[in-house]
């Protein structure tokens, strides 16, 4: 996910900034001054143009416009595909120059005029968090996906397995306006790890859906043990479905002990299922952001 946008004038003045989440404790002027100094030093020592800076938990990716009026900067998660971030960076750069080139040539020190750029940034540059819903056959993944309204996109992987995806709008979240959720079979994800590694690397949240009965828990735990070492970035949570079948279902706290991951009890067939799954996803998103902020 892109967490911050900065645009710095060639004279070092920060003319635009936007924080999507996190880094509120870091002063934007401090970041822009630091980056401007690094770029200046690189040019003076003949090191050429720096394309990105890699830190432990995040990347700083940036670019100049052709006339070098500004430096355009995006802060993104360390495991986000750089090509995706750079594509967004080029879009932002081209749009900003198209809109404000005359203002940059005839600079009057008024940065308030750039505030309207927020609308474009939120619509075109913001990358929604990515969630994958994984589980074995018959655990209720598709039923959960059906609880979310919106257009269903079906892709085929190299082995002709379906990957189902939706983009979901959020109306009651302070940090996110939407998220992308994909449904993938757990066995395909585990046994075709090379095929899906790029998907895993760019995923923010992995929802492991399991039937709460003993038979499915055993096989899902075995597959989870193979999946866990391959997850470099995403936070893993468990959705213990079929909690309505009380005679055969284990309680969420027992399932949480088994997997060692935060577990949410759920039933996809009760009347309040849609409200419940939205609440669960919101809690996962907020917990994930809290974890990222603690790391940073």
pTM: 0.76
**By CB neighbour count within 10 A (0-12 exposed, 13-18 middle, 19+ buried), where does 239 fall?**
buried
Give the pLDDT score at 156.
66
Paired tokens of 295: 């790391």
The pLDDT averaged over each successive group of 10 residues in the chain (296 residues) is 87 87 64 72 61 73 86 84 88 95 91 93 87 94 92 70 82 76 91 81 92 90 94 90 89 95 95 94 85 61
Give the pLDDT score at 278.
93
CATH of 2-125, one of 1.10.3720.10, 1.10.760.10, 3.40.109.10, 3.30.450.70: 3.30.450.70
Give the pLDDT score at 274.
94
Give the pLDDT score at 281.
93
Assigned CATH for 130-295: 3.40.50.300
Give the pLDDT score at 210.
95
Give the pLDDT score at 88.
92
For the chain, give every residue range classified as CATH 3.40.50.300: 130-295
For the chain, give every residue range classified as CATH 3.30.450.70: 2-125
Which one, of 29, 94, 90, 35, lies nearest residue 63 by Cα?
90
């Amino acid at each position: 996910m892109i967490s911050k946008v900065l645009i710095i004038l060639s004279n070092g003045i920060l003319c635009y900034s936007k924080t999507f989440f996190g880094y509120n404790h870091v002063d934007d002027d401090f970041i822009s001054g630091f980056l401007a100094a690094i770029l200046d030093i690189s040019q003076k020592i003949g090191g050429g143009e720096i394309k990105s800076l890699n830190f432990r938990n995040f990347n700083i990716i940036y670019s100049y416009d052709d006339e070098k009026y500004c430096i355009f900067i995006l802060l993104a998660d360390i495991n986000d595909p750089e090509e995706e971030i750079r594509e967004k960076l080029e879009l932002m750069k081209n749009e900003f120059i198209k809109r404000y080139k005359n203002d940059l040539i005839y600079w009057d020190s008024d940065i308030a005029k750039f505030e309207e750029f927020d609308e474009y940034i939120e619509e075109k540059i913001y990358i929604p968090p990515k969630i994958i819903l994984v589980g074995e056959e018959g655990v209720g993944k598709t039923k959960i996906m059906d609880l979310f309204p919106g257009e269903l996109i079906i892709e085929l992987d190299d082995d002709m397995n379906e990957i189902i995806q939706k983009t979901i709008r959020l109306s009651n979240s302070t940090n996110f306006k939407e998220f992308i959720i994909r449904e993938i079979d757990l066995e395909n994800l585990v046994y075709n790890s090379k095929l899906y590694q790029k998907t895993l690397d760019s995923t923010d949240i992995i929802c492991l859906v399991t039937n709460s009965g003993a038979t499915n828990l055993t096989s899902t735990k075995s597959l989870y043990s193979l999946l866990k070492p391959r997850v470099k970035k995403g936070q893993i949570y468990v959705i213990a479905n079929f909690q309505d079948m009380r005679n055969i279902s284990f309680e969420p706290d027992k399932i949480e002990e088994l997997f060692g991951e935060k577990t949410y009890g759920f039933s996809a067939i009760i009347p309040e299922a849609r409200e419940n799954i939205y609440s669960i996803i919101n809690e996962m998103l907020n917990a994930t952001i809290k974890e990222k902020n603690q790391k940073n």
